[in-house]
Amino acid sequence: MKIYPKLNIFLNILPPLERGMHPLLSRFVLAYGELYDEMEIFEGVEKFEICGDFTCALEENLIYKAKEALKVEFDEYSGYFESLSVEVKKNIPQGAGLGGGSANAGAFLCEMARRLDLSKESLQKIAPKIGSDVSFFVNEYESANVMGCGEVVNEFVENSHYTYEIFTPKIFCHTGKVYQAFDELLKNGEIQSVMKVDFLNLSSIELLSRFSPLELNDLFAPAMRVYLELASVRDELGEGWFFSGSGSSFFRVRGLG
């Protein structure tokens, strides 16, 4: 199966809650194009395994965490889950604002639901425990407004379908450091956190046509504060490119403008 990354058409970050999580408003879209992972799941191995070019330990892999969450929710299938071999051809880069790990976990959950006739509601319950972007992927929407801490996902029907061109520089953006910079800029009054509810009602093309990259993504300025070279990348790419998530990927719609 092909697994496409997500892009944030806009990303509105609000001040952190007491437990440190930042509520958000965002438009997520599946980035149909030339960049995708490929996954195959085989049955009948002696011990659960994940095969692919991953840099993290097995226990930190979101596919593994998805499997563990499924075992808790559906104990009767524990033996089946442990008999799986998950092979992933990784193309979506890490630390790039594309949700590659969450996309893999979401695809795994959805495939398990198809094989075992599990409900979508059960996946929606499990997904937030694995990662903040996983809820978007288990809903299998092409475009959605995402709120809360990523667990509220409402489908947004676009007027047209688009493909995207993505450029990812060789810069690994650490999400925690970017959010820390956001908090520091907010505390110092260098940026403001204003809820952009009106953005939820605009189509993705309207958003990209009417607003600048800095207006659309509240983490763009903090990311450039942490990773100074991002500003040079922005300048080299020129007009029409936007910043996804906490970075480091830039994107544009094919054929727009």
**Residue 188 CB-half CA count within 13 A:** 8
Look up residue 53 and give its amino acid.
D
Residue 160, preceding peptide bond in cis (omega within 30° of 0): no
- Return the SS3 of 19: coil
| Residue 257 Cα to chain centre, angstroms | 26
Query: What are the C-alpha distances in Å from 79 to residues 75, 76, 99, 145?
Result: 9, 8, 29, 36
Q: How far apart are CA 19 and CA 142, in angstroms?
A: 31
Residue 229's contacts (CB-CB under 8 Å, 6 or more residues apart) are 169, 171
Angle 52-229-20 from CA coordinates, rounded to 5°: 70
To the query of whether residue 177 is one of the catalytic residues in this protein, the response is no
Nearest CA among 49, 9, 56, 2 for reference residue 29:
9
Look up residue 188 and give its amino acid.
N
Q: How many CB atoms lie within 10 A of CB 201?
A: 9
The active-site residue out of 37, 65, 67, 133 is 133
To the query of whether residue 133 is one of the catalytic residues in this protein, the response is yes
Burial class of residue 177, CB neighbours in 10 A (0-12, 13-18, 19+): middle
Active site (catalytic) residues: 6, 133
